[in-house]
Structure 1
Amino acid sequence: MNSPSSFNPSSLILAAFLLLSQLLLTTSRNLGLHQLNYVGADDSPTYIWPLPSQYTSGNQTLTVNPNLTLVTSGDGGGSRTVSEAFDRYKRIIFEHASLKFPSSGVDYDLNKLTILVHSDDEELQLGVDESYNLLVAARDAHSVIGEVTIEANSVYGALHGLETLSQLCAFDYGTKTVKLYNAPWYIQDKPRFEYRGLLLDTSRHYLPIEIMKQVIESMSYAKLNVLHWHIIDEQSFPLEVPSFPKLWKGAYTKWERYTIDDASEIVDFAKKRGINVMAEVDVPGHAESWGTGYPDLWPSSSCREPLDISKNFTFDLISGILSDMKKIFPFGLFHLGGDEVNTDCWTSTPHVQQWLHDHNMTAKDGYKYFVLRAQEIAISLNWTPVNWEETFNNFPTSLNPKTVVHNWLGAGVCPKAVARGFRCIYSNQGFWYLDHLDVPWESVYYTEPLEYISDASQQKLVLGGEVCMWGETADASDVQQTIWPRAAAAAERLWSAPESRSSRTTVLERLEYFRCLLTRRGVPAAPVRNFYARSPPIGPGSCYRQ
């Protein structure tokens, strides 16, 4: 991120304010004054979730013009991604009907938003620059209007800046205007981890495209940036694969399927919100549904997984699936599963047992062979393979060095993986599995992905983490309230610096406010403090105290 000294605004006053803000920011950090001014003018709270890296704020309240105009600059400022995001956030900020036709002659403080994006490169991959600066310069005797400026190196940083700006604004029911509290603001923000994910399982229950889009939209509010799409599993195979068109016979019904165009639409929708989509094809286990269309993939009709290791057809089909999916999913990571492989089916099926014997393999050797051969296919398509931790736990010295180890079973896996030079994604099921409904928000929030890793070079190998919404007990009727607000607790852990952790009371107030922000935006987030996630309120009360 460019420093304020290299910022190139059109106004000398704005440049001077940036320099002053930087000095104030440094002073406030030195004094330890790094917390938000939680209550603004008129007792209106200003909470930002996730908490920014660095910021200063004041005590002024500004009115925002419903006809707020966008001015763009820089190589990437004219991007359609930026203009469409600006339109989306205008609809969010000025949602009330009384703002649709603002009174003429009203002297608003904030009339213009300037977005400066330095790069026109819109490739979205792991490690893209998501940082941004946000300046809200208050109106005073020497300025005609207040200034709002977002500066970013990429369009994706600009999207995060728009989200933060939207959270600074609130509708005043007394004056029927949108106000921005605690100005002037100067925010320098960037994520702590480059991978901040949510797994969505569409095999155990099919999720319509519109529901998936709602989830993706809500992810952007919490600055999550990877949707891990667990598309298929042993229960159903809902995705169209042109190379092997009988595969989606494994869908629950002919109405619960995703076409190639559907999948591409989801990827494009996510990209416009700064979110990568990482697909998963879990092999060799969790694949019984594949055989509905191609029974030869089953070791036998009575023993249906893992996939039959003895047939070249199995690997030809995997290669076909991945080749077709490469046309849809441009993200550099691809998840190959590899978890919970019970090889009894191989050892109890005569022709598979004979194949293992002929190749001088035990069943465990066969498991390793299958995983490594699938990795080779993915790598040949220029994907980086991601595998669940069982692969690392069973044969760490054989995994391709490019492998990203995905922790889920418990603590201590990422420390072991990074010590061997592997990269790691943290998803400890005890805290970050959202289908574990009795895990309270505090356990999600206070979990540390870098636990037991003190070496700085090894810490860099932890890409980040992911909360997992497994679908056995969640479908379109309740998936959103199961995800939120607990996913937001993990989102702040992955975005904000660890020293930003404050008292439980302060965090709870901020999380409750964010939960209500979600509900105002149409996201059916469950109350924060109920013991059993996605439960309704237990009685009357404010949204902010449930």
Structure 2
Amino acid sequence: MRPLMSGCLTGTLLLLLHALSAEAFITYLEVRLPLEVVTGYKCPARRLSQGQPSPRGSVWPEPQLVVPSKLQRHVAANSFRITTNDAGTPECDVLAKAKARYATLLFFNAMQQGKDTAAAPTGKRLDRLDVNVSLLAEQYCRYPRYGDDESYNLTVPLSGDAFLNATTVWGALRGLETFSQLFYQHPDTKEFLVNVTSIRDYPRFFYRGILVDCVTRFLPVKTLKRNLDAMAYNKFNVFHWFLADWTAWRLRLEAFPNLTMVARLPRHMYLPQDVEDVVEYARLRGIRVIPEIAIASPPKLLRDALPGLMTLCQRTDEQLHEAKPPCARDTEWDLADLSHGPTREVYGVIFKEVASLFKDEYIHLGIRLHDRLKIPRDAPPQVISMLQLYIDSVIDFTLSLGIRVMVWHDLLGIDVKIPRDAVVQFCRSEDHERSSVVEKLTKVGHQVVFSSHWNLSAFYYGPDWKDFYKHDPARYYVNGETRDMVMGGEATLWTHIVDATNLIPRVWPRASAMAERLWSSELMTNTEDAAYRLDEQRCRMLNRGIRAQPILNGYCGDQDLDYMDNYPVLD
């Protein structure tokens, strides 16, 4: 039911009439109004957030240092241009392609409406953004790496050109995204405006990622690219691509094409050219792609495709061998014996091909043994010894190939030591355990990536984005040394009830809340204030073709979904 009148008095009268009727009931009134109008009511019941409304053109994630102003510059789509200092470096294509991409994003509304904006007054008109990057040699533009400098300085002065300065192209990408968010349209004249602003910005954590599970359910490349766009709009920089475990192997390898034989359909696998396409798409947006090949879990799958592999446990079809513990009944998890030459060679070929496809210095080995393999905490010493031998050998072998390793924390529950060179991804939810475990990990030299409380697969009614926003890895710092060992955080999306139809609205804008937690100052804690900026970011994403779900009972005007159906995908 939509309200026939507006204001606090209307709601009070309607409720009174219902109360006086013979069969009293309460009718819920859906307020479909823009956020800034709803918050203008003086009736507290209609106020959608108790925080401080943010001005138009507010940035998400919040920059580290912002000097705002109410003074405006006008921008005309037919005269504004972005210039860069990369003309003499054709081998560094990141900046040139970003310039073209953002030239489209800035004036997307005008393009869709088939008209230019209103003529801007010459004296206040902003005609150019000048982008200057210090490091433009080819080696600085190949692929983003952990620890890259993503800082930038952005100034929109009262007169003259705006300028963006960054040390690397990755910092320039973050600055271009910020500049694009400063733009907004006047609701009546439709002219583009940007406020006079000065920004100094850099990320709080170097690792800001999202895991997407493509083992449980295959997802089209088009969907993955759309999610990469949304990640770039929120300054994420790691796509953790889960591709293989004991249930399925989604990645077709040239060396062993039979590994994909368990795909549900022939098309439900990623060819090398698909991987190259996704990795390049991510690179141009400053996003690393880390594959998870859960090599600890699929030896049965490998053995079916590649007969002759040796395992560490005793299978029923093998001749009895006293040195081997028995494999569990009906097991899927018989662990590969990397001391066996042919087995070691097979693993080496797999790792090398995966590394050549994904380009990143890290491979995630999974090793979710406690969950996947159902090994009890009181497992016999013989089984623990077997696991320790396997973990040591597989991680040492991977490191010997020049590949850095990430694993899940599961081994900690069964008293198996993780080699110190491995990064541990931590996803326990018990607060009382978390600090002690993190302290234990960092003391022995492990770097840690947090995923606790950032499970995008779980879905609750109401503003659950606030839980994502409030959770901060800083709560589990023990001291300065611990802080230095925390790389950042990663949200996880397991696809048991997620596919291409609902992935984007399931992830966004909830992941945006986590993005601000990992990018912005730890002093940003007020969810009521953040709600206004996040609502604007959600509308901004809708305008760019990202079907982000609402967080408040308002709408985005021309950017609402009924208007979005005809929007093309941005390349």
Q: TM-score range by the shorter chain?
A: 0.7 to 0.9
Tell me the secondary structure at the aligned position of residue 231 of structure 1.
strand
TM-score after normalising by structure 2: 0.77
For residues 91-490 of structure 1, the aligned pairs below 5 Å read 91-95=104-108, 96-97=110-111, 98=113, 101=116, 107=122, 109-120=125-136, 121-123=140-142, 124-139=144-159, 146-180=160-194, 183-285=195-297, 289-290=301-302, 293-294=305-306, 303-310=330-337, 312=340, 313-341=342-370, 362-395=382-415, 398-410=417-429, 411-412=434-435, 413-428=437-452, 431-438=453-460, 440-490=464-514
Whole-Å Cα distance in 2 between the matches of residues 215 and 383 of structure 1? Answer: 26
Change beyond 3 A, Cα 1:75–1:194? farther
Letter in 1 for 2:351: L
Change beyond 3 A, Cα 1:46–1:203? same
Contact 1:77–1:117 under 8 Å retained in 2: no
The runs of 5 or more residues in structure 1 that have no matched partner are: 1-35, 140-145, 348-356, 530-539
User: What is residue 31 of structure 1 aligned with on the other side?
Assistant: none
Deviation for aligned residue 1:166: 0.7
User: What is residue 3 of structure 1 aligned with on the other side?
Assistant: none
Q: Which has the higher contact order (CA 8 A, sep 6+)?
A: 2
Whole-Å Cα distance in 2 between the matches of residues 102 and 442 of structure 1? Answer: 37
The runs of 5 or more residues in structure 2 that have no matched partner are: 1-50, 318-328, 562-571
Contact 2:54–2:529 under 8 Å retained in 1: no
Tell me the secondary structure at the aligned position of residue 127 of structure 2.
strand
Whole-Å Cα distance in 2 between the matches of residues 37 and 168 of structure 1? Answer: 18
Which string of whole-angstrom CA distances, capped at 9 and with x for unpartnered residues, describes residues 73-106 of structure 1?
A: 2799874211211211121110123575567896
For residues 483-498 of structure 1, the aligned pairs below 5 Å read 483-498=507-522
Contact 2:152–2:202 under 8 Å retained in 1: yes
For residues 514-525 of structure 1, the aligned pairs below 5 Å read 514-525=537-548
Which string of whole-angstrom CA distances, capped at 9 and with x for unpartnered residues, describes residues 381-422 of structure 1?
A: 2121111112344456x4322111110123333232112221
Whole-Å Cα distance in 1 between the matches of residues 303 and 458 of structure 2? Answer: 30
Is 1:510 equivalent to 2:558 in the alignment?
no
Contact 1:159–1:274 under 8 Å retained in 2: yes
Tell me the secondary structure at the aligned position of residue 197 of structure 1.
strand
Letter in 2 for 1:148: A
Contact 1:222–1:488 under 8 Å retained in 2: yes
Whole-Å Cα distance in 2 between the matches of residues 450 and 345 of structure 1? Answer: 32
Whole-Å Cα distance in 2 between the matches of residues 366 and 295 of structure 1? Answer: 22
CA RMSD in angstroms comes to: 3.0
Whole-Å Cα distance in 2 between the matches of residues 266 and 274 of structure 1? Answer: 12
Identity rate, percent: 26
Change beyond 3 A, Cα 1:159–1:94? same
Whole-Å Cα distance in 1 between the matches of residues 207 and 396 of structure 2? Answer: 24
Letter in 1 for 2:350: I
Change beyond 3 A, Cα 1:407–1:48? same
Change beyond 3 A, Cα 1:138–1:345? closer
User: What is residue 28 of structure 1 aligned with on the other side?
Assistant: none
Whole-Å Cα distance in 2 between the matches of residues 453 and 400 of structure 1? Answer: 22
Whole-Å Cα distance in 2 between the matches of residues 526 and 240 of structure 1? Answer: 34
Contact 2:426–2:448 under 8 Å retained in 1: yes
Change beyond 3 A, Cα 1:104–1:164? closer
Is 1:62 equivalent to 2:68 in the alignment?
no
Deviation for aligned residue 1:318: 2.5
For residues 37-56 of structure 1, the aligned pairs below 5 Å read 39-40=54-55, 45-56=56-67
Whole-Å Cα distance in 1 between the matches of residues 393 and 541 of structure 2? Answer: 44
Letter in 1 for 2:173: L
Whole-Å Cα distance in 2 between the matches of residues 291 and 511 of structure 1? Answer: 49
Whole-Å Cα distance in 2 between the matches of residues 89 and 37 of structure 1? Answer: 30
Tell me the secondary structure at the aligned position of residue 280 of structure 1.
strand
Whole-Å Cα distance in 2 between the matches of residues 414 and 374 of structure 1? Answer: 23
Deviation for aligned residue 1:173: 4.3
Q: Which moves more between the two structures, 107-116 or 48-57?
A: 107-116
Change beyond 3 A, Cα 1:296–1:543? farther
Equivalent pairs, count: 473
Letter in 1 for 2:422: T
Whole-Å Cα distance in 2 between the matches of residues 443 and 346 of structure 1? Answer: 32
Deviation for aligned residue 1:479: 0.8
Contact 1:306–1:341 under 8 Å retained in 2: no
Contact 2:420–2:446 under 8 Å retained in 1: yes
Tell me the secondary structure at the aligned position of residue 328 of structure 1.
helix
TM-score after normalising by structure 1: 0.80
